[in-house]
Amino acid sequence: MLCMDSISIRAPATTANLGAGFDVCGMALSEPFDEFTFSKSDAWHAANETAFIAATDEQKSVFGFVWNAMKQEFGLPGSLQISAKKGIQPSAGMGSSAAEASATAFAVNELFGLNLERSELVHWAGLGEGFTAGNPHYDNVAPCVLGGFTITYNTNPLKVKRLDAPKDLVCMLVVSEVTKPSTAFARSVLPEQVPRRDALVNCQYLSRLLVGFYENDVQTIVSGFGDAIVEPSRARAGGLPNFLQFKKLGDQHGFGTASSGAGPTLIAFGAEESPAFSDAVLDSFSRKGIRAKTIWTKPSALGVHAL
Ligand code: HSE
| Domain locations along the chain | 6-164+301-306, 170-297
- At 269 the pLDDT is 98
- At 2 the pLDDT is 53
- CA-nearest residue for atom 3, ligand 1, is 262
Q: List pLDDT tens digits, range 2-12.
A: 568 999 999 99
Q: What contacts 234, CB < 8 A, 6 or more positions away?
A: 186, 189, 190, 240, 259, 262, 263
Query: Which of 61-65, 78-82, 127-131 has the weakest average pLDDT?
Result: 127-131
Q: How far apart are the C-alpha atoms of 167 and 300, rounded to whole Å?
A: 9
Over 70: is that where the pLDDT of 1 sits?
no
CA triple 47-178-232, angle to 5 deg: 120
Q: List pLDDT tens digits, range 141-174.
A: 999 999 999 999 999 999 999 999 999 999 999 9
Segment 110-132 shows an average pLDDT of: 93
- At 190 the pLDDT is 95
* Total-model pTM: 0.95
CA of 60 to the centre of ligand 1 (A): 20
CA of 212 to the centre of ligand 1 (A): 22
CA of 54 to the centre of ligand 1 (A): 19
Q: Which ligand 1 atom is nearest residue 186's CA?
A: 6
For residue 231, the number of C-alpha atoms closer than 13 Å in the C-beta half-sphere is 29
CA of 41 to the centre of ligand 1 (A): 33
CATH class of 6-164+301-306: alpha beta
Over 90: is that where the pLDDT of 260 sits?
yes
Q: Which ligand 1 atom is nearest residue 259's CA?
A: 5
- At 220 the pLDDT is 98
Q: Using pLDDT thresholds of 50, 70 and 90, give the confidence band for residue 48.
A: confident
- At 179 the pLDDT is 74
Task: Give the strand pairing for 266-270 and 256-259.
Answer: antiparallel
- At 3 the pLDDT is 66
Segment 67-93 shows an average pLDDT of: 95
Q: For a pLDDT cut of 70, what percent of the chain falls above it?
A: 99
Q: List pLDDT tens digits, range 274-296.
A: 999 999 999 999 999 999 999 99
Q: Which ligand 1 atom is nearest residue 23's CA?
A: 1
CA of 22 to the centre of ligand 1 (A): 7
Over 60: is that where the pLDDT of 303 sits?
yes
Q: Which CATH number is associated with domain 170-297?
A: 3.30.70.890
- At 57 the pLDDT is 86
Q: Which ligand 1 atom is nearest residue 262's CA?
A: 5
**3-state secondary structure labels for all residues of 243-289:** HHHHHHHHHHHCCEEEECCCCCCEEEEECCCCHHHHHHHHHHHHHCC
Q: List pLDDT tens digits, range 101-111.
A: 999 999 999 99
Segment 54-76 shows an average pLDDT of: 92
Taking CB atoms and a 6 Å cutoff, what residues make up the pocket around ligand 1?
16-17, 22-23, 133, 137, 139-140, 183, 186-187, 261-262
The answer to whether residues 252 and 268 touch, using CB atoms and an 8 Å cutoff, is no
Q: List pLDDT tens digits, range 198-226.
A: 999 999 999 999 999 999 999 999 999 99
- At 54 the pLDDT is 76
Instruction: Compute, in degrees rounded to 10, the torsion defined by CA atoms 194, 181, 85, 147.
Output: 10
